[in-house]
Amino acid sequence: MAFEFTERLKKLPPYLFVEIDKAKRRARAKGRDIIDLGIGDPDESTPKEIIESLYKAACDSKNHHYPLDQGNSVFRDRIARWYKERFNVILDQEKEILPLIGSKEGISHMPLAFINPGDISLVPDPCYPPYKSGTILAGGIPCIMPLTEENNFLPDLNKIKPQTLKKAKVIYINYPNNPTASVCEKTFFENIALFAKKYNLIVASDAAYSEIAFDGYRPDSFLKAEGGKETGIEFHSLSKTCNMTGWRIGFACGNEKIISGIAKVKSNIDSGVFNAIQMAGITALDIADKHLEKMNKVYQKRRDILVDGLNKLGWVIKKPKATFYVWARLPKEYKSSIEFAGLVLDKTNIIITPGIGFGESGEGYVRFALTVSEERIQEAVQRLERVL
């Protein structure tokens, strides 16, 4: 049989992380003691209050049925309250909030509602891969906005070509940023909203790391910026906020028309988030602040050990204010991030992610994830010292 993949599937960029995963498994199978600083998946478990809340809700048979397309109203209500308390942004829970099966799901489905074949989406580069793949699966064309260190890893809007802007429908932004761990000022959000209004763009602001921040810094919401709700939506996730990556729960909120478009796509594809998980999501938002106070201290300490350690070895890295990543330029002798990550794995049994896996502008960098214990990070620094 000669089954053919569709053109859109063939156009998807290769998923580099699959290769890294294979190399990791090969090394583990040989009994090597691997320190995995590769994946962005919290190592600590989900807080027990959330698990208990799931159990209780799962025992209640009224939660056993298909969830509503627009999500559980009690959960939506709690999200609205969280937004008001956290960002001082008022949201209408009927029209401006949509629970998602993890924010990746919403990020990837959104282009099906707003990108026609041949339309362009503006994506930062390096970036979280679904901005590009979601666009391609909808028949659209991702156009990259390089994030450079000289520009504090913010896109330079002046460099986007007029003919690109003519066909652009969506602009993705992501602060605090994965993989660069950079943050933005409120004025950046305001400029994006102005730009979006001028060129009739949808702003998709990915705020997956809004709660993971250090040294007293608190990331802001795009929706709080002047023109924010008029031009865009924001994606949130409980994955990083409450160590819930496996649970698959997040939400989108903001502009009513954009939310309704995603909801329409979803109602034709999935049937929402298990109600018991949405109930557990309420508990997650209830305890988030208390949990994060502890968790952010843990990440901050790990960050300090890694960055101080690497800087002693001659790297020049600034301590990131948010996310659980450290984005580091390769030592001068190295050009290729894949080659360098391969060498580090071979010589030290440490997994790091080559920057090029996040897009061409990520070349020359590697990403370390702070998702292992202090002791293991210390151990990683010592191993690197022996090799570099």
Ligand X SMILES: *Cc1c(COP(=O)(O)O)cnc(C)c1O
Residue 128 in contact with ligand X, rule: CB under 6 A:
yes
Contact partners, residue 272, CB within 8 Å, separation at least 6 = 66, 67, 68, 69, 71, 99, 101, 266
Q: Among 14-22, 45-53, 101-109, 361-369, which window interacts with ligand X (CB under 6 A)?
A: 101-109
Report helix, strand or coil for 64: coil
- Distance CA(292)–CA(44), nearest Å, equals 12
- Distance CA(318)–CA(320), nearest Å, equals 6
Residue 155 in contact with ligand X, rule: CB under 6 A:
no
**Nearer to ligand X among residue 231 and residue 323 (C-beta):** 323
Pick the binder of ligand X from 36, 96, 125, 206 (CB under 6 A): 206
CA angle 293, 321, 342 (to 5 degrees): 110
Q: How far is the CB of 166 from ligand X (least distance, A)?
A: 28
- Distance CA(19)–CA(337), nearest Å, equals 14
- Distance CA(133)–CA(141), nearest Å, equals 9
Report helix, strand or coil for 145: strand
**Nearer to ligand X among residue 113 and residue 381 (C-beta):** 113
Show the tokens assigned to 125: 């580069």
**Nearer to ligand X among residue 121 and residue 237 (C-beta):** 237
Q: How far is the CB of 64 from ligand X (least distance, A)?
A: 24
Residue 125 in contact with ligand X, rule: CB under 6 A:
no
Helix and strand counts by DSSP (H, E) for the chain: 14, 12
Residue 174 in contact with ligand X, rule: CB under 6 A:
yes
**Nearer to ligand X among residue 96 and residue 206 (C-beta):** 206
Q: Among 7-15, 116-124, 239-247, 366-374, which window interacts with ligand X (CB under 6 A)?
A: 239-247
Show the tokens assigned to 216: 């007293």
Q: How far is the CB of 208 from ligand X (least distance, A)?
A: 4
Contact partners, residue 197, CB within 8 Å, separation at least 6 = 227, 230, 231
Pick the binder of ligand X from 77, 119, 146, 245 (CB under 6 A): 245
Q: Among 210-218, 232-240, 261-269, 358-366, which window interacts with ligand X (CB under 6 A)?
A: 232-240
- Distance CA(146)–CA(134), nearest Å, equals 19
Residue 83 in contact with ligand X, rule: CB under 6 A:
no
Count, residues near ligand X per rule CB under 6 A: 14
Residue 103 in contact with ligand X, rule: CB under 6 A:
yes
Residue 362 in contact with ligand X, rule: CB under 6 A:
no
Backbone angles phi, psi at 252, to 5 degrees: -115, 145
Residue 325 in contact with ligand X, rule: CB under 6 A:
no
Pick the binder of ligand X from 46, 239, 241, 337 (CB under 6 A): 239
Q: How far is the CB of 242 from ligand X (least distance, A)?
A: 11
- Distance CA(280)–CA(46), nearest Å, equals 11
Residue 205 in contact with ligand X, rule: CB under 6 A:
no
Backbone angles phi, psi at 366, to 5 degrees: -130, 155
Note the residues at the interface with ligand X (CB under 6 A): 40, 102-104, 128, 174, 178, 206, 208, 237, 239-240, 245, 250
